Amino acid sequence: MATSAWPKLFKGNRAMSLMKVLLVVYAFPPAGGVGVLRAASLARYLPAEGIQLDVLTTRNPSSVGTDYSLLREIPGEVTVHRTVTLDLPFSVKKRLKSLLTGARPPSALADGKAAAARPNFLKRALQDLLLPDPQVTWLPVLTRAARRIVARRNIDLVLITGAPYSNYLLAERLRKKFPSLPIVLDFRDEWLATSFGVASFQFSRSERARKFAIAAEASAVKSATAVVAVTEAARREMQGRYPHEPASKFHHIPNGFDATRLHPSPLAPASRPDGKIIVTYVGTVYTSTEPTALVEALLSLQPEVKSRFTLRFIGHIEEPRYREALLQLGDMVELKGYMPQHEALQAMNETDYVLLVTHDRLNISAKFYDYIGAGKPILACVHPDGDVRRLLEELGAGWWAGSSDVEGIRQLFIDAAARGDSLRAAFQPDLAKVAQYERKVLAQRYAALLRSIAGGEIEADSHTAAEVAGTEP
């Protein structure tokens, strides 16, 4: 490994030391989808903060689509190492999942009832074999490649991001080979409470899988130098699970939006010629964003109110039952499917409101930050005790109802229809607070945190103590 005497470079008139970081991520551009954006933004902006970045990723990740515009934004000085994985392509896994589980009725709620159904023998065998997730098949290749890169590239720090959660198993393997190597675990989604709680999207929720995950996360956290969560609630949750670990080990750096990719337009016209109100959802529809209560609420609207709304869903729909539920809305809904990010963001400019649905208490989906960056008012169906609700109110970014509160969601849309010409006056987000969630700003905070973890000198002329600590801006 390298020493802390990093070569010098300059950003303006500020001297910085060049630090060598290896970023480990399963899916990386040109893979598309919201799951790649955090790693892609770090790769895009960290080099300008005095970090020589290597990225270790897969050549054939299972992803919802491709987006070459993301790849074109990665600086040429970033070295990308791509290895093969045995994971199946996304379309094949989707078909296998359908065959193994069978179709479920759209009335199934996200309260664990559907997930509690007894899986068939083949599914149980796969779940017992592929723990904690199917991407664990990458781990042997990943381990060999990471050890080789750390040694040959003289790496100062390894940053491992996920999901998939199997990525974090690398920490223990690297620690055995490199006892003093700084290792940072970046949790895009909190693991245990999310995967085995109500809003589960875990491959397996069996007792064996739960025990494996508990032991695996504990081992990874013990092996890590630091742990970074994307919400303060998730940071507290993880710190609380490991009281024997120092509190200073756990940090919070949120997701954000890329101002260079967003071209916010003024709010849509107060009244369209056809009187329609367009509401757009961008992102995957899966267990923790399932739309059952939303659909029930919309179907209960009076015909004259219902006819005013057009809901556009842009993104992959995880299960047939969710698609079937949405299609119950008839002419109210348009299912657009997956789009590259720049197209999806452009589509938001044509909308009156953006739609957020999440049953998750701990995590904040990446789309939330794109919504606030685009300057669009949010209609949110959220966990009433979650960080999304707190941040929505703090930023003045829109209006919310409980994600399972059918009457509350119904009223949310009645109010949106009634707001009409007063939307421009009613929607007044805190733009100064919103600006602190730009990805370039967050990358600066992340770079400062990595330098502090690796023991390098941190420039004090433009970084505050709060930035170094990774606290909420």
> Side chain identity at 65, as an amino acid letter?
G
Supply the pLDDT for residue 289. Answer: 92
Supply the pLDDT for residue 127. Answer: 63
Residue 116 has pLDDT above 60, yes or no: no
- Would you place residue 89 in the very low, low, confident or very high pLDDT band (cuts 50, 70, 90)? low
Supply the pLDDT for residue 345. Answer: 80
Count of helices and strands (H, E) across the chain: 20, 15
Least confident of 71-75, 182-186, 299-303, 344-348: 344-348
Mind listing the pLDDT tens digit for each residue in 181-194?
A: 999 999 998 888 87
Supply the pLDDT for residue 456. Answer: 43
How far are the Cα atoms of 162, 259, 422 from residue 43, in angstroms, in the given order? 15, 16, 41
Higher pLDDT, 304 or 93: 304
Supply the pLDDT for residue 326. Answer: 96
Nearest by Cα to 371 from 288, 289, 282: 282
Q: For the chain, which residues make up each domain, given as ranges?
A: 8-256+438-469, 277-433
Supply the pLDDT for residue 339. Answer: 87
Residue 11 has pLDDT above 60, yes or no: no
Mind listing the pLDDT tens digit for each residue in 432-454?
A: 999 999 999 999 999 999 999 99
Element (H, E) at 234: helix 232-241
Nearest by Cα to 146 from 50, 23, 52, 29: 23
Mind listing the pLDDT tens digit for each residue in 167-224?
A: 999 999 999 999 999 999 999 988 888 766 544 445 556 788 889 999 999 999 999 9
Q: Provide the CATH number for the domain formed by 8-256+438-469 in this structure.
A: 3.40.50.2000
Whether 325 and 106 have beta carbons less than 8 Å apart is answered as yes
Supply the pLDDT for residue 347. Answer: 86
Higher pLDDT, 119 or 388: 388
- Residue count of the chain, please give it: 473
Supply the pLDDT for residue 81. Answer: 98
- Would you place residue 472 in the very low, low, confident or very high pLDDT band (cuts 50, 70, 90)? very low
Least confident of 154-158, 187-191, 331-335: 187-191
Highest-confidence range of 7-21, 166-180, 270-284, by mean pLDDT? 166-180
| 277-433 carries CATH number 3.20.20.80 | no
How far are the Cα atoms of 225, 241, 253, 398, 457 from residue 248, in angstroms, in the given order? 10, 14, 14, 34, 18
Check if 8-256+438-469 and 277-433 are the same fold: yes
- Would you place residue 338 in the very low, low, confident or very high pLDDT band (cuts 50, 70, 90)? confident
Higher pLDDT, 331 or 128: 331
Residue 243 has pLDDT above 70, yes or no: yes
Least confident of 203-212, 322-331, 396-405: 203-212
Supply the pLDDT for residue 420. Answer: 83
Q: What is the mean pLDDT of the chain?
A: 84
